[in-house]
Structure 1
């Protein structure tokens, strides 16, 4: 690519300057000249991931090969990489995989030995090449937006020379707490929550089922199986039906007996009296003929005969009913006695089917109680696990606190370095501090500059933090000899503070033997120079917004 802007780095302060050309169109902007792309190319050659949306995999650039020369292990190394084959690199002419290149950089730049508790190479280099697109300039201790605190714990602890073994132990606690939290969240779900239940509700149900189990077990232990239970039960039902019929028949015959008794009494009380006829004729002084008198006598005799016959019939009917009643009462007594005997047999025991049903019911109730007991044990385990984790977390926080106390001189040196850098920029007007506190998950880095609510002051807090980190790591041979910042870091910084920061970076870089690389707009650079920035620096590259050949790559993307 003939119009690609190459860069040459030197010890000390290196600035990539982006300027606006007079020929550039009004709608063009220096925000598109390639300052951020410049840093992404550096990161690409230092082993970054190159996903399909990476700028160097665009069709206009995919066939281009980019090269970087750097010093590793006391010798100059050349690395070449292309977007067409992002997984492979040429290192001093030898083709290697990106994973192998990362391993070498991890060893030569950060002295990583491959131990399990060590952070990854990419988690470390991300603090030296912050990516503005990932939100890396929003918080000094994060290189990604909303990055979990645990994710930055290990790399920062390594760079500042703290105890990684403690962090590794705290990860186990964090993992356990996360798992427990997820289980609790799941338990609040309507479906799982109903399945698990609450401790007090489970206790009540378990006690109730326990009573049912005891009753069933007692009933089964006292249960006697009766032979031919079904036949006895059928006979009892048959006798009950027979007794019911006999009772109904007795009621009807007793009613008939009452009717017969009433008829007999009526016959006795209603015999006709013919004497009134004689009296009537005597009063009329008429003498009845003998034939008439004889006829009356004959009628009376006939009537008496009919009455006697009816009385005898009724009395015979009454006797028959009395005999039938006696017989049925005897049958009723016999049936009732037999049914009582059968019922005593049934009450003394039960059928085999009933016994088996009781056994099945006992198994079912015990199964339900066992399930509830398991759920109750699960809740107990959660509560015990939570208490155990709380104890472990408190113990872990105490161990971190004790470790920091043992490292007091080291922590004080780091804090003094940060405060001195902030003092160079703001003087005594804004007190600054970098505190390292203990927590249950590890070391908590808190860089502050007084009045850091403004974006410009926050940016300078990040600048001082990165510079402190880079110097500390370099002194302990745990970090590279360079630090790179995008121009976005300075976009909200006032000219005077920018001048102080650049002067400080140049002085620290020269004193510590490192390279500080920054991309700046030309007007920001001029603003800093107008405020007193006059330190010599290496203009490692100059980018412009010339429409056709400007920018880092010398082409215009469409």
Structure 2
């Protein structure tokens, strides 16, 4: 895969790349103007735009996101040359950065700013990465998404701090990049990845053990002691239970408890209701006995005289018979009422007697139940048993925690054994097994540095105390192979990064893989003679291996010959010239 062109639908300099050496120049036209910064022309920004079009994230720190208002309605297009000879254009807008368009075509340098017919349109970003990965068809680390390795071939100034650890991995864990790099060097990175994963599991398990130990204030060494405490508490509970069972709360063979008292009170309530009914009936009978109907014949005769009417004899006789009948009826009724009254009094006396007995019984029961001596002892005994139960429960929880700690510790031991085996396998893989890929990378790396600065430098791998991988790339004295401090300087460290990236591409040049690299500002600080050697070396590598190289440089950093003349480049080699003469000279033709 190579870069073909980058362009936009709005203000942005179209950049067309050739398939070999490409130079992006930043011109300084006003060197005495201190208000102008020649480093803000856009030569580094172009890397970010390309990375954006290769579907990097769109976080708030990214410059296109930070200045989103300025880039309203902007769409960017990246045309790449695939390894099968076809071209692929990727479209990504600022307004909808998570929706991606793709189009395959046969001819290069197309303009799709007004294109509506896309092979894949508005594809969600994650799916778009998979689609692009399939288009690339890399056979180098085919199971790894291209996003994992592309940053080695888009180096900004921040990526020269370490040959192997890119800036984007500075805040990441080793597992995020070291196994990948080990794979890229031809080793089995899965061994290292598995080791890191097991170490993570162990760290989590050890943290869990610490939590359990803190929570329970126990550890495995106290296991037997806890068991002993539980046995002692069980015996205490057993003794108290025996004492509790000795309490005799029975009267008339019935246990005295709240239910029994409630039963007696229910009987009392029932009898009181019956007594009330009897007394009510008694009052009614007494009222009936006192309420007699009186008939006076003389009063009737007097009434007839007053109205001057004769009182008939036959009526008088009938009335006398009625009075007699009523008298007999009243006497009979009174007899029955008196008999019922006598019966009621008898029933009342019996109920009152029974109520007296029940109330006495209730009083006795409550007295026993509420006895300070007996009941308090009973309650105390019960409370002690509850307290011991709680203690036993706590001890059992501690025992469970210790048991759990033991189980987790066993898992940690098992995982450590697995790590030990992985360490051995990793050392065998890195130090003893034949690895032609790694061997070719190292040889190529050294040849590049030898050609440019006439010093030898070889990448190497070591194991630290924890058995993890450390990567090195040092410049060595040719006579005694001692490591020098030159590789730690900014200028030569950049060359080490360049040599590493190129050695990877050269080694995999026959494979389907990246076939381009973009290096920002490598020439800064180099001697002119070494700059010339560097450029000549890079051009040769591109020609011999079918690779594409993109170099950015400020104009005054370009090499000069012994006569002071700037090295000349063909129009084909110069992909872009940026200038500080005005906004028109900048990448976006505007300042922001």
- TM-score, scaled to structure 2: 0.63
Mapped pair 1:481 → 2:491: no
Q: Is the 8 A contact 1:150 1:441 kept in 2?
A: no
1:515-534 map, 5 Å = 515-526=548-559
The answer as to whether partners of 1:12 and 1:506 remain within 8 angstroms in 2 is yes
Contact 1:549-1:555 within 8 A present in 2 as well:
yes
Aligned partner of 1:271 in structure 2 is none
Aligned ranges 1:370-449 → 2 under 5 Å: 370-404=396-430, 405-428=432-455, 431-437=456-462, 444-449=470-475
Task: Count matched residues.
Answer: 426
Q: CA deviation at 1:39?
A: 1.0
Partner of 2:184: 159
Alignment counterpart, residue 216 of structure 1, candidates 236, 244, 254: 236
**Aligned partners of 2:75 and 2:457: how far apart in 1?**
45
Contact 1:498 1:528 in 2 (8 A): no
Change (3 A) 1:46 1:377: same
Match of 1:466 among 454, 479, 501: 501
How many Å separate the matches in 2 of 1:414 and 1:426?
A: 18
User: Partners in 2 of 1:441 and 1:31 — Cα distance?
Assistant: 43
Deviation at 1:53, TM superposition (A): 4.6
Matched with 1:539 is 574
95, 104, 109: which is aligned to 1:84? 95
The residue that corresponds to 1:169 in the other structure is 194
Among residues 18, 39, 50, which one is paired with 2:47 in the alignment?
A: 39
CA contact (8 A) 1:110 1:480 kept: no
Cα distance in 1 for partners of 2:136, 2:236 equals: 76
Deviation of the 1:18 alpha carbon: 0.5
3-state DSSP class of the match of 2:518?
strand
**Distance apart, 1:213 and its partner CA:** 2.4
Contact residue 153 and residue 517 of structure 2 kept, 8 A: yes
Q: CA deviation at 1:372?
A: 1.3
Deviation at 1:492, TM superposition (A): 4.3
Q: Give the conservation status (yes or no) of the 8 Å contact 1:128–1:482.
A: yes
Cα distance, 1:532 vs structure 2: 10
| Contact 1:170-1:441 at 8 Å conserved across structures | no
Q: Aligned pair in 2 of structure 1 residues 218, 548: CA closer, same or farther (>3 Å)?
A: closer
Q: 1:364 is matched with which residue: 377, 384, 390? A: 390
Task: Give the Cα separation in 1 of the matches to 2:54 and 2:198.
Answer: 34
Shift of 1:16: 0.4
C-alpha distance in structure 2 between counterparts of 1:150 and 1:358, whole Å? 57
User: 2:204 aligns to what?
Assistant: 179
| 3-state SS of paired residue (2:14) | coil
Greater relative contact order, per chain length (Cα 8 Å cut-off, separation 6+): 1
Q: C-alpha separation between the residues in 1 aligned to 2:217 and 2:441?
A: 52
Aligned Cα RMSD in Å? 3.6
Structure 2 stretches lacking a partner, 5+ long: 1-8, 104-116, 252-375, 476-483
Matches within 5 A, 1:183-202: 183=208, 187=211, 194-199=214-219, 202=222
Q: Within 1, Cα distance between the matches of 2:552 and 2:71?
A: 22
Q: Show the counterpart of 2:226.
A: 206
Take 2:217 and 2:165, find their aligned partners in 1: how far apart are those partners? Answer: 41
Rg bigger for which structure?
1
Separation of aligned partners in 2, 1:22 and 1:168: 52
CA displacement at 1:513 relative to structure 2: 0.5
- Confirm or deny: 8 A CA contact 2:41 2:587 kept in the other structure: yes
How far apart are the structure 2 equivalents of 1:7 and 1:178? 50
State the distance in 2 between where 1:3 and 1:207 align.
Answer: 80
The 8 Å contact of residues 180 and 189 in structure 2, kept in 1 or not, is answered as no
Residue in structure 2 matching 1:74, options 85, 91, 106: 85
For the residue of structure 2 that corresponds to 1:90, the secondary structure is: strand
Work out whether 1:11 is the aligned partner of 2:19. yes
The CA distance in 2 between the partners of 1:74 and 1:441, in whole Å, is: 44
529, 532, 540: which is aligned to 1:507? 540
2 CA distance for matches of 1:425 and 1:216? 88
Cα 1:481–1:424 shift into 2, 3 Å = same
1:380-404 superposed Cα distances (whole Å, 9 cap, x missing partner)? 2343333323222221111122223
Residues 363 and 224 (structure 1 numbering): CA distance in 2 closer, same or farther, change over 3 Å? Answer: closer
Structure 1 residue 211, shift from structure 2 partner: 5.1
